[in-house]
Amino acid sequence: MKLLTKKIIIQENFSIKGVKKMNKEKVIIIGAGPAGLTAGYELLKDTNKYEVIILEESQEIGGISKTVKYNGNRMDIGGHRFFSKDKKVMDFWKELMPIQGENSFDDEKLGRKKPLKHGGPNPNEENRVMLIRNRVSRIYYLKKFFDYPVSMKKETFLNLGLVRTIKAGCSYIKTIFIKKEETSLENFYINRFGKVLYGMFFEKYTEKLWGRPPSQISADWGAQRVKGLSIKAVISDILSKVFKKKNRKVETSLIEEFWYPKYGPGQLWENLSQEFEKLGGKIKKGYTVKNINIKDNKVISVECITGEGKKEIVGDIFISSMPIKDLVEGFKGETVPKEYLEIALGLPYRDFMTVGLLVKKLEIENKTKIKTLGNIVPDCWIYVQEPDVKLGRIQIFNNWSPYMLENPEENVWIGLEYFCNEGDSYWNMSDEEFIKFAIDELEKIGVINRKNVLDAHRERVKKAYPAYFDTYSRMDELINYLNTFDNLYCVGRNGQHRYNNMDHSMVTAFEAVKNIKKNIKTKENIWNVNTEKEYHEAKG
């Protein structure tokens, strides 16, 4: 009877008209974010051996890389640069969304030059266009702007003042001679910047981000995030620019140009979902995978909560981009050994909220030489280092793509990023309360005047950041356990509990699909993505 029910559910939801499924392997993918969509598309693009179904909890496409549409304006959850050192990823992106062949209207108006692609689409006429944007991002501290990463120029020292500059210099020189053991993120930063600069530019921001002081955080995060970045790296980047050194290595944090879809990151993932569906793939939205039935080192089926009740979906192969914590907690059918359950349940996350604020004008002035529409500050995003506010970063969507706004020449559309924990007092505030809180903070640090606010919207994002503390140190044991399930592939950011960007998440999907297609048994190549210590741009 149970079997019959299952069969009816599957046929009701997933039978694909005109497609003979008998000999196909059925692949169930959890999550329609970059990793899940890439895996689905790669499985179907050159073979009809698979029937692929993506189960997505939300009603949206793109996971945390989605674009939110609100009252005619578009909001990026975080500000997603499309950049990868992996040519395959860059090729994949530009095939989906061709590089602009004509200027965007802001570049045209301001006379900004871009390396346009001959024959590429005109963003003023077509939608499926990848824009080339300049990265400008600075630190806001002491109500002044500093370069990110801090650079050795006159303005920096003028902003800091003589006393702070001397202190910073002395403490940096000290680190040349005395290195700390890199047992924490704090020591990682101090070794590269000195204690004083660390205190000014890293300590408070990192604490805002993770909710813990850097002394309690693993140095791995620094190795992942600011790979190779240090005063030495900054200086050598400046020198190689001065001497116009060809093929210079560029550390991840210093990349100055990136691609961005005309309507934000979600546009690319929506396009990919359409391509996936054209190939016969199915996406079931509003399907939350709760239980994962396991037996004899295999996943047999998943059980989902849906708007139409609980559904069980069987499959031959399972690709998961859902958080590892939820995945292992959902294992049913066999008892998960206590030690692995403990690791999975102890994995920490940082949650995130962002407020989109539409304003008539900003109070901070553009004192740079960079021209912008309405002469607003040229930053794509600003790190807020002011210690007396909770605000972490400000995104300025006008500078990501002018097409994100209904009236980019009249208004400024900004995103205010807050790091928090699901269920804490900030998370639990009503939209109205939280928006008021955010406006108060922005006024306090002199960024806006509340009388200029036109519209606002708040988004909550669960598990935005997989964190590297608590049971993360035992992650290898959990990986070994997960690898015992032959037909289960863990991909993506939370799917691997790794600080993966979109490109890394895609590469984990490429690797998983390669293993499935070629019947490769090891999973090592999938887990090895984004683990190298040195990360530099191989090609521009």
Ligand X SMILES: Cc1cc2nc3c(=O)[nH]c(=O)nc-3n(C[C@H](O)[C@H](O)[C@H](O)COP(=O)(O)OP(=O)(O)OC[C@H]3O[C@@H](n4cnc5c(N)ncnc54)[C@H](O)[C@@H]3O)c2cc1C
Q: Which of residues 451-510 bind ligand X (CB under 6 A)?
A: 464, 492-495, 500-503, 505
Q: C-beta of 355: minimal distance to ligand X in Å?
A: 13
The first and second tokens of residue 4, run together, are 């019959």
**Within 181-257, where are the H helices?**
185-193, 195-198, 204-210, 220-225, 231-242
- Closest CB to ligand X among residues 56, 107: 56
Nearer to ligand X, 68 or 168 (CB): 68
Q: Which is nearer to ligand X, 398 or 501 (CB)?
A: 501
Task: Give the pair of three-digit tokens for residue 283.
Answer: 């996406």
Q: Is 34 in the site for ligand X (CB under 6 A)?
A: yes
Minimum CB–partner distance for residue 504 and ligand X (Å): 7
Bridge partners, 261 (sequence order): 130
Q: Which of 528, 496, 440, 403 is nearest to 72 (CA)?
A: 403
Toward ligand X, which CB reaches closer, 13 or 288?
A: 288
Residue 284 neighbours by CB under 8 Å, 6+ apart:
13, 14, 53, 54, 55, 56, 304, 306
Interaction between residue 315 and ligand X (CB under 6 A): no
Which residues are CB-contacts of 6 (< 8 A; sequence separation ≥ 6)?
Answer: 301, 312, 314
**Does residue number 273 form part of the binding site for ligand X (CB under 6 A)?**
no
CB 263 within 8 A of CB 74: yes
Q: How far, in Å, CA of 3 to CA of 9, rounded?
A: 10
Contact with ligand X (CB under 6 A) among 288, 368, 487, 525: 288
If one asks whether residue 131 binds ligand X (CB under 6 A), the answer comes out as no
Residue type, position 292, single letter: I
d(CA 510, CA 491): 9
Number of C-alpha atoms within 13 angstroms, CB side, residue 186? 12
Kindly tell me which residue out of 27, 51, 81, 383 binds ligand X, with binding defined by CB under 6 A: 81
The residues with which 69 forms a beta bridge, in sequence order, are: 74
Between 35 and 196, whose beta carbon lies closer to ligand X?
35
- Piece in contact with ligand X (CB under 6 A), picked from 15-23, 54-62, 110-118, 334-342: 54-62
Q: For 454, which DSSP code?
A: E
User: Phi and psi for 520 in degrees, rounded to 5?
Assistant: -85, 130
Closer to ligand X by Cβ: residue 124 or 306: 306
What number of chain residues touch ligand X (CB under 6 A)? 35
Per CB under 6 A, 80 contacts ligand X: yes
**CB–CB of 344/328 below 8 Å?**
yes
Rule CB under 6 A: say whether 321 interacts with ligand X: yes
**Cα 314 to the center of its chain, rounded Å:** 31
Piece in contact with ligand X (CB under 6 A), picked from 25-33, 199-207, 398-406, 482-490: 25-33
State yes or no: residue 511 binds ligand X (CB under 6 A). Answer: no
CA nearest 446: which of 181, 58, 17, 140?
A: 140
326 binds ligand X (CB under 6 A): yes
Shortest separation between residue 530's beta carbon and ligand X, angstroms: 10
Q: DSSP letter at 321?
A: -
Judged by CB under 6 A, the chain residues 331 through 390 that form the site for ligand X are 352
Considering the complex, state which of residue 190 and residue 507 has its C-beta at the smaller distance from ligand X.
507
Q: Residue 289: which H helix or E strand, with range? A: strand 288-295
Geometric angle at alpha carbon 286, from 345 and 94, rounded to 5°: 90
**By the rule CB under 6 A, 293 interacts with ligand X:** no
Angle at 12 between CA 324 and CA 296, to 5 degrees: 40
CB of 76 to ligand X, least distance (A): 8
According to CB under 6 A, which one of 322, 364, 475, 512 is a site residue for ligand X?
Answer: 322
Nearer to ligand X, 197 or 283 (CB): 283
Q: Is 30 in the site for ligand X (CB under 6 A)?
A: yes
Please say which residue, 55 or 328, places its beta carbon nearer to ligand X. Answer: 55
Helix (H) or strand (E) holding 36: helix 34-44
For residue 366, count CB atoms less than 10 angstroms from its CB and return exposed for 0-12, middle for 13-18, buried for 19 or more.
middle
Please report how close the Cβ of residue 408 comes to ligand X at its closest, in angstroms: 21
Comparing CB distances to ligand X, the nearer of 172 and 269 is 269
Shortest spacing between CB 78 and ligand X, in angstroms: 2
206 vs 321 by CB, closer to ligand X: 321
Binding site for ligand X (CB under 6 A): 30-36, 55-58, 63-65, 78-81, 287-289, 321-322, 326, 352, 464, 492-495, 500-503, 505
